[in-house]
Structure 1
Amino acid sequence: MLIILLTGCSAIPLSSSTPQVDRVPAGTLDAATARTSLAALAVSAPGRLDGYSRDCDSGACVFGQPWFDTDGDGCDQRSQVLARDLTDVQRKPGRCGVQSGTLDDPYTGTRITSVSKIQIDHVVPLAEMWRSGAAAWAPEQRVAAANDLRNLVAVSGKVNQSKGDKTPDEWMPPNAAYACSYGRIYVTVKAAYKLTVAPAERSALENALATCDTPPAT
């Protein structure tokens, strides 16, 4: 089946012959290790959001200024993720920022050709990090976690907005073929930072990881 490009469209359904999108960041646990790691996470009801803020204009952003250049190479984390996840990347002249490229969006299974339609998702939302342990961290650890490339994925901005701060029991990618990968990324981050997991969240992640054993539909 051919993909038909329509002038002015920024999201194009992938054809049935396109391989399933299963891209995960480097360092993501494999399915078996993710299951073991999930079972080892402490189970606890989510904490309160008291003190949580992303508003840096007031100086109260508890996870630091968005898209910090963690390795000092002059390229912030947003630009690094775009360059990692997009193809046919063109950077701004003399700068690190990405001005164009194509994303095979794992959350929707569509192809996005406009960078303005793309956002970077924290797979484990920062609000959820706060509720499950990060409220007690030092500011430097929160900045590092907010910019951890293992937790950052380029996706459709519209879908990212619909997700918000929801956990897997409340929201999963519309592209069901990505459930396994999404669960693996989520558990990788929770385990790396020794965050707690709520009972319903854990059950949803177990269901997501169970799909890793299911062959894709033909």
Structure 2
Amino acid sequence: MVRVVLLALLLSSCAALPGQTGTGQSVPVQTIPAGTPDAATAKAKLAALVVQAPASLSGYERSCDKGETCVFGQPWLDVDGDGCDQRSQVLARDLADVVKKEGRCAVTSGSLKDPYTGETITSVSKIQIDHVVPLAEMWRSGAAGWDVNRRATAANDLRNLLAVQGKVNQSKGDKTPDKWMPPNTGYACSYARIYVGVKAGYALTTTASERTALERALTSCT
């Protein structure tokens, strides 16, 4: 009987956050973009976000291939004019033991402690750059009314970009925190802080269910 009670307590303590997939393991990962608010500030910013139903995705087009009009501009831009595009900047920021092409910015090798899974990735080809707040969600929550320059700035904002395992990034897609959270529960607090900081920084709206999921994730902050 005692063993049953202990097992029940262990299972309840490992309850997954809303939208969480995978094993729910908790691995500390320190990757947090500069400019991300601390937990207390994130909670205050989240409470101040306007809550409303998401707008239509009508007009949204991310791909720039085959003459299509990509509403967030051509990826990836060299925002600060240093000769390195944002993808290269994120890889250099988030990976350890980085090796670049001689005289260039392109990262050819390195090691990533993936924040979303807690796994170590050593092949750059298996790493993708994730928009923590998906571009489609930006569109639904306010970006549809911006001009293309503001959208391009948001799409290349380093505060919203993380190097992550490609496979888990594909599983996330355009899902919001009420539908998806990192399988690595140890990153829930950081993920919510980043997400809220970006939404607040661009005065984007939130839905009630999204806010609830973010509030719960922020309660995991220590």
TM-score (norm 1): 0.88
Given candidates 198, 201, 205, the residue that maps to 2:214 is 205
Determine the C-alpha separation between the residues in 2 that align with 1:30 and 1:43: 22
Is 1:138 matched with 2:143? no
Given candidates 198, 205, 209, the residue that maps to 1:196 is 205
**1:19, CA displacement in angstroms?**
7.0
Determine the C-alpha separation between the residues in 1 that align with 2:138 and 2:27: 32
Structure 1 segment 15-34 matched on structure 2, within 5 A: 20-34=28-42
Counterpart of 1:182?
191
Is 1:108 matched with 2:132? no
Letter in 1 for 2:167: K
**1:83, CA displacement in angstroms?**
0.1
Q: Write 1 or 2 for the structure with the bigger share of helix.
A: 2
**1:103, CA displacement in angstroms?**
0.2
Residues 61-80 of structure 1: CA deviation (Å, up to 9, x unaligned): 00001111111111000000
Contact residue 112 and residue 122 of structure 2 kept, 8 A: yes
Counterpart of 2:126?
117
Given candidates 69, 72, 77, the residue that maps to 1:63 is 72
Structure 1 segment 70-89 matched on structure 2, within 5 A: 70-89=79-98
Contact residue 61 and residue 68 of structure 2 kept, 8 A: no
Comparing both chains, which one has the higher relative contact order based on Cα–Cα distances under 8 Å and sequence gaps of 6 or more?
Answer: 2
Contact residue 27 and residue 187 of structure 2 kept, 8 A: no
- Indicate the percent of aligned positions where both proteins have the same amino acid: 71
Determine the C-alpha separation between the residues in 2 that align with 1:165 and 1:96: 28
Letter in 2 for 1:89: V
TM-score (norm 2): 0.87
Structure 1 spans left out of the alignment, 5+ residues: 1-15, 214-218
Structure 2 spans left out of the alignment, 5+ residues: 1-24
Counterpart of 2:59?
51
| SS of 2:162 mapped into structure 1 | strand
Determine the C-alpha separation between the residues in 2 that align with 1:141 and 1:100: 32
Residues 63-118 of structure 1: CA deviation (Å, up to 9, x unaligned): 00111111111100000000000000000122110000000001000000000000
Distance 1:100 1:206, change over 3 A: same
Q: Which 4+ stretches in 1 moved above 2 angstroms?
A: none
Counterpart of 2:3?
none
**1:22, CA displacement in angstroms?**
2.8
| SS of 1:161 mapped into structure 2 | helix
Q: Which stretch shifts more, 189-198 or 48-57? A: 48-57
Given candidates 151, 162, 181, the residue that maps to 1:172 is 181
Paired residues, number? 197
Counterpart of 2:163?
154
Determine the C-alpha separation between the residues in 2 that align with 1:201 and 1:65: 28
**1:151, CA displacement in angstroms?**
0.1
Is 1:95 matched with 2:97? no
Contact residue 90 and residue 129 of structure 2 kept, 8 A: yes
